[in-house]
Amino acid sequence: MNRRIAEQAADWALRLADGISEPERLDFDAWLRRDPAHGRAFDRARRIMGEAGMALRLDTDFTRRLLRRPEKRGGPTAIVVLLVLAAAGGAFLAADGPLRLRADFVSAAGDMPRIALSDGSYVTLNGESAIAAHFDAGTRSVTLLKGEAYFEVASDPARPFVVTAGPGRIEARGTAFDVNLVGGEVDVTVTEHTVAVKATAAGAETLLASGRRLAYDDQGILRRPEPVPEGFETPWRQGRLIFEDRPLSMVAEEIFRHLPGKVVVADRALAGRRISGSFDLADPEAALASFATAFGLRVAHLGSVLTVIY
């Protein structure tokens, strides 16, 4: 990558993160159109900015030096990401601060608590998950803030039980169901009775019966419901992750609900690689090593804070 273009991309990434005026936005759009290499350089800079977040903006000189480095294949790319994320480690750890202020229940990595709610319902949290609950005389409302939760809902016809997750809501109809926030999507799986799912881009509710699953994306667009093989509805509750034709980035996110620290897939093409398999949660560190070997991946650890898959 041309160093001058990399420098310009780094500057634009930082300026956009801080906010720009409308004339500056027009200048940026013109710069992007001028050369296809500009768009590639900006995507790389934005990708690194997105992974490192606040820490990179706090030390702009350090950030520019890292963003301006030419991108190379293989090991050097992972090393650059490790350096960036090493600087951002403190910000990663602090990033859940606002979420914790909103949450009523939070689980740590590898922790899967079953929690009794005030109405007699139960919720089991997957690792690295959080919910906020608001119950009053007329409603029972739960917001899934992060991760995954399995709900066993107590009957109360006078008070609907509604879970909000991303740009959608799930209303229980006397039921048990799982809601998973992963990779910018929301997956809903029903294990007993029925739920009504309504996403922002859908005109009407979709009824989802036991043994079926659907997803909606961050724009509220529903995918077609599909059957789930018996015993595969919520494998994490039995100590396994099972994934079929899923992007590596999503699989990594779910794996690291059971391992300490954060995970980054260093290359966009690799992050989108679709894989199938299973993962044993009894010994997640050993399983991660076997998983990487099976799929030809390399893993670099920065203590227990950060892991890079490349």
73 and 139 in a single domain? The answer is no
Give the C-alpha separation, 260 to 258, whole Å: 7
Instruction: Count structural domains, the chain.
Output: 3
Residue whose tokens read 């600087």: 87
Q: Is residue 71 part of a domain?
A: yes
Q: What count of other Cβ atoms lies within 10 Å of the Cβ of residue 66?
A: 18
CATH number (domain holding residue 259):
3.55.50.30
168 and 61 in a single domain? The answer is no
Give the C-alpha separation, 124 to 131, whole Å: 10
CB 219 within 8 A of CB 225: no
Tokens of 197: 């799912």
CATH number (domain holding residue 123):
2.60.120.1440
Q: Of the residues 234, 262, 288, which one is the last residue of a structural domain?
A: 234
152 and 249 in a single domain? The answer is no
Predicted TM-score (pTM) of the model is 0.70
Q: Of the residues 215, 234, 253, which one is the last residue of a structural domain?
A: 234
Give the C-alpha separation, 12 to 83, whole Å: 21
112 and 175 in a single domain? The answer is yes
Q: Of the residues 184, 200, 234, which one is the last residue of a structural domain?
A: 234
Q: Is residue 99 part of a domain?
A: no
What is the CA 272 to chain-centroid distance, rounded? Answer: 14
Tokens of 283: 């010994």
Domain that holds residue 253: 239-309
109 and 190 in a single domain? The answer is yes
pLDDT attached to residue 5: 80
Mean pLDDT by groups of 10 residues along the chain of 310 residues: 70 72 87 87 66 44 49 46 48 57 89 95 96 93 97 94 95 94 94 94 87 93 90 89 90 92 85 90 89 89 82
13 and 50 in a single domain? The answer is yes
78 and 191 in a single domain? The answer is no
